[in-house]
Structure 1
Amino acid sequence: QMLIYKNNSDRKGNSYGSHENYLMDRRTSFKQIVEHLMPFFVTRQVYCGAGKVGSENRSQPCDYQISQR
């Protein structure tokens, strides 16, 4: 059995970040980066599951948050 957890909050209202690295050719123009990577950054939390169920730290109750931060 394997269990995988993905979170960035400790259930007491505290959250923490994580870092990502992206490898690309140095010759990649900034225009190409903006055109192709920015849409991914904007939409990824919807299809990659960046949200969380419920609320914590005496926040208003909710069923689901689209983003933990």
Structure 2
Amino acid sequence: TEEEEDGFKTPTSSDCKIPIPTECPPAPRKRRRPGIRNSKPLSLPPSNVRCRLRFEVEAAEVESIF
């Protein structure tokens, strides 16, 4: 066959084989989300902080309300 002519073949000796594990690895652990454990409870922003909220509305929608 062509493989034999090229001179390459997969090594099959026991030295080249992947060893069979003697025990199973531990189960994967869930990653902790940073900041959740030591975070402060949510609170309102200080009164000197302004929050802006922007809505994009078409003129036809506004006119239909009035």
TM range (shorter): under 0.3
Q: Name the structure, 1 or 2, with higher relative contact order (CA <8 Å, separation 6+).
A: 1
The structure number with the bigger radius of gyration is 2
Higher strand residue share:
1
TM-score (norm 1): 0.26
TM-score (norm 2): 0.26
